[in-house]
Amino acid sequence: MHGGETDPKRTQMDDDSNGEEDDGDEAEQQQTGTRSSFSKEEMSENKDLSNKSKLQNQQRIEQLERELEKEKGRVRDSNNAYSAMQARYKEMEDTLSQIQNKEHGYIARIQELQKARDDKYNTLLQEKDSLKIIIEELKARLHRQEQYHATVSSNPNPPATAINNDHLSEKKEEYLAK
């Protein structure tokens, strides 16, 4: 036992303890391996999640870009429609301006015609008033002549001046009638 001999119990114990240590090392290795493999799995999952997230983000970006393009199209359409409406508005404004200019011309012409008509109407009214006066004068003369004839017919010898006045009044009536 001394010298080169080994105690079989001790060797067995050493083996057991070495075995335990081996088992411990294996357990540590398994834990470390598990940790390594868990980390790899986590990394793999993280990569998958990261890839999924990137894919989702990329899809979302593409969706937003499509929506942006649609919105740009709507804005473009709105701008085109607005431009067309502005052009129609300008055209209508020009037409309205032309119509208003014509209207002012017509109003000026109507006012001229009204003034001319009013002048003619006033002239006609004056003539009418003159004619009324002449008619009244003629009626008065006629009435005097009738009275004179009534007086002459009742008086068989009329004075000579009365006859001359009668002749003058006839000429005056002819002149006024003209």
Helix or strand holding residue 97 (H, E): helix 8-154
Taking 70 as the threshold, does the pLDDT of residue 21 lie above it?
no
- Closest by CA to 36, choosing from 28, 48, 46, is 28
In terms of pLDDT, which residue wins out, 15 or 51?
Answer: 51
Question: What sign does the dihedral 81-87-88-90 (CA atoms) show?
Answer: positive
Residues above pLDDT 90, as percent of the chain: 38
Question: What's the mean pLDDT when you consider all of the chain?
Answer: 78
Looking at residue 27, what is its pLDDT? 52
Distance CA 88, CA 98 (A): 15
Give the range among 59-63, 86-90, 129-133, 171-175 with minimum mean pLDDT. Answer: 171-175
**Is it the case that residue 138 has pLDDT exceeding 50?**
yes
Checking if the pLDDT of 86 tops 90, the result is yes
Mean pLDDT calculated for residue range 120-135: 91
C-alpha span between 6 and 172 (Å, rounded): 190
**Rounded average pLDDT over 14-30:** 49
Q: What is the pLDDT of residue 98?
A: 97
Does the pLDDT of residue 20 top 60, yes or no? no
Rounded Cα gap, residues 169 and 178, in angstroms = 14
The per-residue pLDDT for 19 is: 46
- Report which of residues 80 and 177 the model is more confident about: 80
CB 141 within 8 A of CB 169: yes
DSSP code, position 165: H
CB 26 within 8 A of CB 20: no
What is the token pair recorded at 30? 């398994």
